[in-house]
Structure 1
Amino acid sequence: MSIYNNILVVANIDAEQQPALARAMQIGKKSKSPSRITFFLAIYDFSYEMTSMLSPDERNAMRAGVIHQREQWMKEVAEPYRDDDHIELDIKVVWHNRPYEAIISEVFAKDYELVVKTTRQHDLLESVLFTPTDWHLLRKCPCAVLLVKNHDWPEKGHVVVSVHVGSENEAHLELNHRMIEQALDLSDRLDAELHLVNSYPITPPNITVELPEFDPTIYTDSVRGHHLKSMKALRQEYGIAEEQTIVEQGLPQDVIPKAVKDLGAGLVVLGTSGRTGLSAVFLGNTAENIIDEINCDVLALKPSGYVSPLDPHGS
């Protein structure tokens, strides 16, 4: 069953090319059921709010005029992408001074399964620069968030899934399954090969000082064996070949970016940590460090039970 059939695409008002819309259409075309894509823009001009000489009705009329202009522009920009009867493509423009809040409000209103947004690419550093809106979405959006670069997906590309197989934590295990299931769906639609990547910890150097009889080699071999066994069980559950798995010693923020670079991956799938309730406002240091080091599209998934701080029905 296809997972992403109701997609919200955030427009890039500063460009004629819309990589996020192109990627969403690419995903939608390969869906096994009809897809709905909404091309969305939140706009705001403070000068309209400060015009004290205008009446509220006049200000509303001016806002409506600006919204209409943007809708016309978006229709023109989206026209080249309207090439598939399988996809219903809608356009929506709202007046809001915080784009990320407008996006998340729309997600709650229409139960979107995926938000797609273009990221900024810094050619000099060969890296992706995430905007404040990107970070807010990664931390607070209740559904999956796909941040894309301005590039075409390579044929027979690679998708890297950052799994956590050494844990007995139910939340980690559940998130592993959600990431793999959604990555398999995307890999099928994008004609890409999926790879599971996991890191295991380095032996703490001070432990050999505190415990003279401790053998770090035996410990390291035991930890690696546990992770390899757990990875084997996970990949076999989904019919994934052994050569499509990587288990390396080190920190995730080192192992995952290296795997992405070595494979030339076009997409990395990350699970974000978070708490439920109003305290669920952070992405997690590990995920943030990984994102800072990679140069490809990013799909971020929240754990089950996550409650966005912007949830209108939350506590």
Structure 2
Amino acid sequence: MSQYQRILLLADPSLRRTPAFERAVWLARASGAALHIALFDRDPLISAAALVTDTRHTEAAIAQWLEPRRQWLHSETDDLIGKGLNVTSEAVWSRPSQHAILQHVDGFKPDLVVKDVHYEPLLRRVLIAPLDWQLLRSCPCPLLLVNTLTQALPRRIVAAVDASSQSSEHRALNEQVIHQALSMAIQCDAQLHLVYAFSGPQSMIDPAGAGIGPIGELARLLQPQHQQHFDELADAHGVPPDRRHFLHGPAAPTIADFLREHHSDVLVIGSAHRTLFDRLLIGTTAEAMLDAAPCNVLAVKS
């Protein structure tokens, strides 16, 4: 199983060691990967003034504004280099946008991008897709979104697969999810667990507690097929019976409850490339899992 070679950390503009910063450093140390720290930030007043002032004045103002950020990065980089890590850094005059980040991903070609989770109010999410959601959909390499830091390295990694279909697209995405989860588990000496949430009869009950007839019956017929797909996937990757979990219920809340109960550190999910229509929808499974998960989320594509 290959180790990480190049890790890109999207540093927080607050100029502090956030959970994502610490997790990226620990992963770089565990894997021996080169770590590049990129800090995206800009001052809106200087940007506005640039429209009406001389270019030389604007460039000088930008350089002055970026200087403390560069100094902070240099200080952190020197400290990490002194501890034996291969680290580079840069301060980028740009708001942390999807376009700017993807340009750096394309240039640096990392095996892993690490970023702190940033929560947006519900109303803002309805109007504008959060940056984290945009990166879930568009980042071409594995994206680790960090919302908590409980210990130096993850000890329990959970790979969430989709056993509802045997299509080539589903199989490829499941394989990549397990590959990335297993790679991180090996590098961090962590346990790997496999989960699937089947939205079957237990989740298809009306408030009075009665089944809902034909739909419930259909779910009962489908469950053995999904169970077989799940077991075949687990068998193919050597996941022992005590680390495979066939759950019942809607994916996001059901898996989130499992993660809490089992004190999981990282959830690995698949994020498929979507059509334009799909991208207009709020609350697709990957985005819902990011909002619901009580741990860090590693999103991968096939």
Query: Could you state the TM-score of these two structures normalised by the residue count of structure 1?
Result: 0.80
CA distance 1:112–1:280, shift in 2 (3 Å): farther
Assess if the C-alpha contact under 8 Å between 2:9 and 2:113 holds in 1.
yes
Instruction: Tell me the amino acid that sits aligned with residue 61 of structure 1.
Output: A
Q: Kindly provide the CA deviation profile for residues 215-235 of structure 1, in whole angstroms up to 9, marking residues without a partner as x.
A: 93xx55543322222222111
Confirm whether residue 61 of structure 1 aligns to residue 71 of structure 2.
Answer: no
Q: Kindly provide the CA deviation profile for residues 272-310 of structure 1, in whole angstroms up to 9, marking residues without a partner as x.
A: 13336x6674686122222222211011112x3xxxxxx
Assess if the C-alpha contact under 8 Å between 1:29 and 1:84 holds in 2.
no
Unaligned runs of 5+ in 1: 123-130, 305-315
Instruction: Tell me the amino acid that sits aligned with residue 18 of structure 1.
Output: T
Quick one: distance in 2 between partners of 1:156 and 1:137?
Answer: 22
Q: 2:33 aligns with which of 19, 27, 35?
A: 35
Q: What pairs up with 1:138-287 in 2 under 5 angstroms?
A: 138-153=136-151, 157-203=155-201, 216=217, 220-275=219-274, 281=279, 285-287=284-286
Assess if the C-alpha contact under 8 Å between 2:9 and 2:21 holds in 1.
yes
Report deviation, 1:88: 1.5
> How many residues end up aligned between the 2 structures?
286
Name which of structure 1's ranges 7-16 and 48-57 shifts more when overlaid on structure 2. 48-57
Name which of structure 1's ranges 111-120 and 261-270 shifts more when overlaid on structure 2. 111-120
Structure holding more helix per residue: 2
SS in 1 for 2:247: strand
CA distance 1:156–1:53, shift in 2 (3 Å): closer
Name which of structure 1's ranges 258-267 and 17-26 shifts more when overlaid on structure 2. 17-26
CA distance 1:152–1:77, shift in 2 (3 Å): farther
Instruction: Tell me the amino acid that sits aligned with residue 185 of structure 2.
Output: S
1:18 counterpart residue number: 18
CA distance 1:101–1:35, shift in 2 (3 Å): same
Quick one: distance in 1 between partners of 2:11 and 2:292?
Answer: 25
CA distance 1:75–1:19, shift in 2 (3 Å): farther
Query: Could you state the TM-score of these two structures normalised by the residue count of structure 2?
Result: 0.83
SS in 2 for 1:82: helix
Quick one: distance in 2 between partners of 1:53 and 1:254?
Answer: 51
CA distance 1:155–1:53, shift in 2 (3 Å): closer
Assess if the C-alpha contact under 8 Å between 1:22 and 1:81 holds in 2.
no
2:7 counterpart residue number: 7
Quick one: distance in 2 between partners of 1:48 and 1:112?
Answer: 31
Q: Kindly provide the CA deviation profile for residues 90-116 of structure 1, in whole angstroms up to 9, marking residues without a partner as x.
A: 001111134332211100122122110
CA distance 1:88–1:156, shift in 2 (3 Å): closer
Assess if the C-alpha contact under 8 Å between 1:227 and 1:247 holds in 2.
no
Quick one: distance in 2 between partners of 1:99 and 1:249?
Answer: 37
Report deviation, 1:26: 1.5
Assess if the C-alpha contact under 8 Å between 1:163 and 1:197 holds in 2.
yes
Quick one: distance in 2 between partners of 1:101 and 1:199?
Answer: 34
